[in-house]
Structure 1
């Protein structure tokens, strides 16, 4: 009947939404990991630049 069809459509929507949220959380975690890696690289570049600068000035 109509009510059970509405209920199953709504359950499917809820399930799809949960799956989408899980995928987005996964993508967010990956993006955060990449950002952390980039931050680390930029910090070590910073140190290398400061090193080189000091050597030039000596």
Structure 2
């Protein structure tokens, strides 16, 4: 009946929201990792430049 359809669509909506939340979390973690790598490579660049100037 209509109630089972409603509960089914509610479950689908909830699953979608949970999936979106998980994806956003993964994206945030990936961005944090990328930022960390960028900082590492920048400090590496500085170290290399310093070494070359000596």
Deviations 1:11-55 (A, max 9, x none): 000000000000000000000000000000000000000001001
Scaled by the length of structure 2, the TM-score of the pair is 0.97
Scaled by the length of structure 1, the TM-score of the pair is 0.91
CA distance in structure 2 between the aligned counterparts of 1:13 and 1:39, rounded to whole angstroms:
38
CA distance in structure 2 between the aligned counterparts of 1:43 and 1:3, rounded to whole angstroms:
59
Q: Which has the larger radius of gyration?
A: 1
Which 5+ residue runs of structure 2 have no aligned equivalent? Answer: none
Q: Aligned-residue CA RMSD in angstroms?
A: 0.4
Which 5+ residue runs of structure 1 have no aligned equivalent? Answer: none
Q: Number of aligned pairs?
A: 54
CA distance in structure 2 between the aligned counterparts of 1:4 and 1:10, rounded to whole angstroms:
10
